[in-house]
Structure 1
Amino acid sequence: MAVVLMCGATGAGKSTYARNLEAAGWLRLSFDVETWRHGFRSPDVPQDVLVEIEQDLREQLVEAVIEGEDVVVDFSFSTRALRDAYRALAAEIGVLAETVFLPVDRGTALARVRTRTGSGPDDLQLSDEQVVAHVDGFEVPTFAEHPLRVRDGDLELRHAVVADIEILLAFWAISAENAARPADEARPVAQLLARDPAAIIVAEQAGEIVGCVVACWDGWRANLYRLAVHPQQRGRGVGSRLLDQAERRLAALGATRMCAMVLDENDPGVALWRSAGYAPQGEWSRWVKPVVLH
């Protein structure tokens, strides 16, 4: 069983995504569908009705998962607290709920909502003021929340999982330019994911991994490793988008300074890090010692 929490401001395309899952056999749970069924044709729904509807939808979610159905919860999930609550609800019945976030800017949201005609629950008309308030007040999820999938143009960014390990090893062999480092092995990557399942962020295009970054937080230091992009995908902003999401994750966890490992002779990489505001710290040198077991 799978549970997906659709997340995004009005006009982001959540319901289109959710309806596609519904067409594939998923159960879709929607506030807008239920308020429409109750006779409301605008967002102005009494609070007691909203409470009643949410309780019913939560019960439907639990019952469906217990019966083995896949469920997409088509709400806005505009706050971290609400997302946490539904992840906890899914965890109680043994499911790790994934948040799927569809970003939308104010201009795009306004343009999309202005075309609505009020013909059904997924076509509710809103004023420009309501749209702007929803977009501007949205608490955007970060990769500190796990698991998360972000639709970013032609890319999808998501947390890596154990099933990705062998693919990542092959990807790093092509894309991570550092012949001086020890060869990658599956075991330490698996250990990292076991300790911090949210540490590795990958970028996919058409289902293939084209970039990744490792954003580690130990409660004191924030360290960035393996910002890598497939050679055929470089120059398209993949690395910048990964780095932005990694920084957001680490800042949400409490980091006040980011530390990155950058190969000196990797000119494109150095340029990316500099453009993102990073600079070498001249008074420090990296000291290393191989571990030799006796």
Structure 2
Amino acid sequence: MTSKNTLVTAVGFCNATALHMVCGKIASGKSTLTARLADAQRTVLISEDVWIARLYPDEIHTLADYVRCAARLKTVLTEHIQSLLSAGVSVVLDFPFNTTDTREWGHSLARAVGCEHRLHYLEVSDEICKSRLRARNASGEHPFQTSEAQYELITRHFVPPTADEGFELVVYDETGSVRGQSALEIGLSD
């Protein structure tokens, strides 16, 4: 990943309250990036994987199970996230903002309180994600094991962000370096 100073400069941390969301395929580096983003003062990290693993142990076996549990979690956390943002605490959501629907939910959180928002997009190839996934599964440190077949199934639902979604966008390459800060700049237009 990028050095802390480069990351701070690239994402424009300042005293303003911001909601940070991440978009990227499984094992693209979302949790690594969100941990770094959450290092800023007055910033909290909320990790979907941690919450789901603790609230729904042994209940996630299919994509439908995940969708059901993730929807319940979002319903519970929406007001809490908005309260944190309203109190001047920046929030980093380690949730996969990988579809237009999930990104709309994130946008609605920021709009409700009028805070800044950034979508951090990790543009990483399937080959690298699968390699990282195998290593992650082998380590046993992640709360969920994901097979390559599950990776393929989930990745079919992945929708890269576009300029018309209206996010302040920061795009990272496979090394974790910032590649650009505009959807148009990096060719993510419709």
Separation in 1, partners of 2:66, 2:122: 28
Per the alignment, residue 34 of structure 2 pairs with 18
CA–CA distance in structure 1, aligned partners of residues 67 and 102 of structure 2:
16
2:124 is matched with which residue? 104
**TM-score with structure 1 setting the length:** 0.51
Task: Note the alpha carbon deviations across 1:82-140, whole angstroms, 9 max, x for none.
Answer: 2123212211211132111001211111111111233343xx21011111223343101
2:172 equivalent in structure 1: 151
Q: Is the 8 A contact 1:87 1:96 kept in 2?
A: no
Q: Per-residue CA shift, 1:4-35, capped at 9, x if unaligned?
A: 11111101100000011223342111210101
Aligned residues: 165
Q: Distance in 1 between matches of 2:81 and 2:120?
A: 17
Does the C-alpha gap of structure 1 residues 60 and 127 become closer, same or farther in structure 2, counting only changes over 3 Å?
A: same
Cα distance in structure 2, aligned partners of 1:148 and 1:56: 26
CA distance in 2 between partners of 1:54 and 1:20 (Å): 23
| Aligned residue runs from structure 1 range 1-294, under 5 A | 1-25=17-41, 26-40=43-57, 43-44=60-61, 45=65, 48-115=68-135, 116=137, 117-121=139-143, 124-145=144-165, 146-153=167-174, 154-159=177-182, 201=185, 242=186, 245=187, 248-249=188-189, 252=190
* Greater length-normalized contact order (CA 8 Å, ≥ 6 residues apart): 2
How far apart in 2 are the matches of 1:90 and 1:100? Answer: 15
CA radius of gyration, larger in: 1
- Tell me how far apart the structure 1 counterparts of residues 101 and 66 of structure 2 sit (CA, whole Å): 21
In the other structure, the counterpart of 2:6 is none
Secondary structure (helix, strand or coil) at the match of 1:144 reads helix
Change (3 A) 1:149 1:46: closer
Check conservation: 1:36, 1:120, Cα contact below 8 A. Answer: no
Residue deviations 1:221-252, cap 9 Å, x none? Answer: xxxxxxxxxxxxxxxxxxxxx4xx1xx41xx1
Which stretches in structure 2 are left out of the alignment for 5+ residues? 1-16
Name the CA shift for 1:91/1:16 in 2 (closer, same or farther; >3 Å): same
Whether the 8 Å CA contact 1:105–1:135 is kept in 2: the answer is: no
> Would the alpha carbon gap of residues 41 and 112 (structure 1) be closer, same or farther in structure 2, given more than 3 Å must change?
farther
Instruction: Report the secondary structure of 1:98's partner residue.
Output: strand
Give, in whole Å, the separation in 2 of the partners of 1:125 and 1:149.
28
In the alignment, structure 1 segments of 5+ residues that lack a partner are 160-197, 202-241, 253-294
* Equivalent AA in structure 1 for residue 180 of structure 2: L
When normalised by structure 2's length, the TM-score is: 0.76
| Whole-angstrom distance in 2 between the partners of 1:39 and 1:102 | 27
Instruction: Tell me the secondary structure at the aligned position of residue 81 of structure 2.
Output: helix
- In structure 1, distance between residues paired with 2:105 and 2:33: 22
C-alpha distance in 2, partners of 1:118/1:53?
Answer: 24
